[in-house]
Chains A and B, each alone.
Chain A
Amino acid sequence: MGFSEFFKRKSSSNVAKDRLKLVLVSDRANCSPEIMEQMKNDIIKVISKYVEIDVDGLDIKITQTEIEGDNGTVPALFANIPIKDLKNQKM
C-alpha cells in the first residue's frame, strides 16, 4: 500500500459503486442477500465433502453472461472456489 493511499479514505463514488453492485445482485437475481448467503453455505458444504476448499477465498455472485449465437445476456451464477488440497481427498 502506498503512503498516500494509507491516508486516503475510500472515495464516496467507490462506496456508491460497491453498494450498487451489491444491491443489483439481489435485484437481478430476484433473491435476497440472505438467500445468497444460504446458497453459499450449502455450496461450501457440498464441495467440502470431496475436497478441502479455501472458504475465505470463496467468491459466489450472480452476474450476466453472453449466450452464444445470440446478442442477449442471461444471468449466471459465478463461483470461484479455491481448492486448498487436492491430494487429501476425503473420499
Chain B
Amino acid sequence: MGEVIVITSGKGGVGKTTTTANVGTGLAKLNKKVVLIDTDIGLRNLDVVMGLENRIVYNLVDVVEGNCRIKQALIKDKRYPNLYLLPSAQTRDKTSVSPEQMKKLSDELREEFDYILMDCPAGIEQGFKNAIAGADRALVVTTPEVSAVRDADRIIGLLEANEIKNTHLIVNRLRSDMVKRGDMMSSDDVVEILAVDLIGVVPDDESVVISTNQGEPLVGNESLAGQAYLNICHRLLGEEVPFLDLNAKNSLMARLAGIFKKN
C-alpha cells in the first residue's frame, strides 16, 4: 500500500513545486514507484519543472470526470521508468474537482505506487482542501521569512484540524552567510517557532534556478541543494541522515574570496 504525501506551504513562491519535483524524482532514484500529482488546477506548473510539458494529453480533471482511464493520463518520466506525473488542467478551475474525488483517486493510486506526491496550490481554499483530502502525511515548505513562517503556522494548524498528524518541515532557500551575520532566521529558529519536526534544510542555490530552466530536477547531483533533496528522500524512507553543513562550501568560498580580495 502506497503512502500519500502532500507538499504544502500556504504562501506562494516558497518552493512547493520544486520540492515536489525533486523529492519525487529522488524517491524514484531510490527505486520507489512514484506518481506526482499537480493539484493546482488552472495554474499548471509541475509539468514544466519536470520537463514533461510536451507530453500532456489528458489531465487530472479528465481522470476525475471519467473522460479517460488513470493510466492514459499518467506521463512517464524521461529519466526514471518508475516515475509518473499526473498533470493538472490549465483551462479549468479548482471547483472542477472535489475532496471526495481526490480521496478516491489517491486510494486507487495507492494500489499501484509506493509514493503519491500531491503538489498543493498556494492558499487555504478549495485547492488546498483537494490536495490534503487523501493525504497520510504532509511536508510543509517554508522559507526563513516572517510572512512564509506565519503562513506555515496556519497550514500546520489546518493540517492538524484535518487529522493529518504526520507533518514535517522543510526550510527552503536558507542562506547560511546571512544566518551567520544575524540577518536571517536559522532553521533552528524556524523549528522553535513552528514546533514541528524538521526533515530538511535546502540552501538557496543557483543550481535550482538552472535546473528549473532546463526542466531537470537536480536531486542527487553534486550541488548542495541536490544533496539536501536526496537527504530528505532518505529521511522519508525512515533512514537517519545527518543534516548538511551548509557552511562548509560557503566558508571555503568566503576564504577564496578573501584571498582574491587581498591580491
Binding site for B on A (CB under 8 A): 11-14, 16-17, 19-21, 23-24, 27-28, 64, 71-73
The reply to whether A11 and B183 form a contact with Cβ atoms under 8 Å apart is: yes
Rounded to whole angstroms, the CA-CA distance of A17 and B193 in the bound complex is 8
Q: Which residues of B lie under 8 Å from residue A28 when comparing CB positions?
A: 153, 157
User: Could you say which of A11, A12, A23, A64 contacts B195, with CB atoms under 8 Å apart?
Assistant: A64
Chain A residues whose CB sits within 8 angstroms of the CB of B235 once the complex forms = none
The answer to whether A13 and B150 touch across the interface, beta carbons within 8 angstroms, is no
* Cα–Cα, bound, A85→B167 (Å): 46
Distance A6 CA – B43 CA, assembled complex (angstroms): 51
- Stretch in contact with the other chain, from B49-57, B102-110, B184-192: B184-192
Cα A80 to Cα B257 in complex, Å, equals 50
> Contact mask B142-179 → A, CB, 8 Å, 1/0?
00111001100110010010000100000000000011
CA distance A16 to B189 in the complex (A): 10
Residues on B with C-beta less than 8 A from A13 are 144, 178-179, 182-186, 189
With the chains together, A33 CA to B134 CA distance in Å?
36
Interface residue range, chain B: 20 to 34
Q: How far is the CB of A17 from chain B (nearest CB, A)?
A: 5
**Distance between B211 CB and nearest chain A CB, rounded to angstroms:** 28
Asked if B193 contacts A19 (CB within 8 A), the reply is no
Contacting pair A19 B146 (CB below 8 A): yes
Expressed in whole angstroms, the Cα–Cα distance for A20 and B223 within the complex equals: 31
Within 8 Å CB of B160, what residues of A?
Answer: 72
Chain B residues with CB under 8 Å of chain A are: 144-146, 149-150, 153-154, 157, 160, 165, 178-179, 181-186, 189, 193, 195
- Assuming the contacts A19-B146, A20-B149, A24-B150, asked whether A14 and B182 have C-beta atoms less than 8 A apart, the reply is yes
> Which of B145, B154, B182 is the most central at the interface, judged by chain A CB atoms within 10 Å of its CB?
B182
Q: How far is the CB of B161 from chain A (nearest CB, A)?
A: 11
Q: Residue of A at shortest CB range from B182?
A: A11
Chain B: minimal CB distance from A76 (Å) = 13
Measured between alpha carbons, how far is A12 from B146 in the docked complex, in Å? Answer: 11
A-B contact pairs, 12 of them (CB 8 A): A11-B181, A13-B144, A13-B184, A16-B146, A16-B185, A20-B193, A23-B146, A27-B153, A71-B165, A72-B160, A72-B165, A73-B195
CB-defined contacts of A11 to chain B, threshold 8 Å: 181-183
Whether the Cβ atoms of A17 and B150 lie closer than 8 Å is no
Complex CA–CA separation, A72 to B161 (angstroms):
11
Residues of A within 8 A of B165 (CB): 71-72
Q: Which of B181, B185, B189 has the most CB of A within 10 A?
A: B185
A21 to chain B, nearest CB (A): 7
Q: How far is the CA of A24 from the CA of B195 in the complex (A)?
A: 12
CB distance from B134 to the nearest CB of A (A): 21
Rounded to whole angstroms, the CA-CA distance of A41 and B80 in the bound complex is 63
- Please report the C-alpha to C-alpha distance between residue A64 and residue B193 in the assembled complex, in whole angstroms: 11
| Chain B min CB distance to A16 (Å) | 5
Known: A19-B146, A71-B165. A24 touches B193 (CB 8 A): yes
- Chain A contacts of B153 at CB under 8 A? 24, 27-28
Measured CA separation A30–B87 after assembly (Å): 37
Residue of B nearest to A75 (CB): B157
Q: How far is the CA of A83 from the CA of B157 in the complex (A)?
A: 35
Q: Which residue from chain A places its CB closest to the CB of B151 in the assembled complex?
A: A27
CB distance from B177 to the nearest CB of A (A): 12
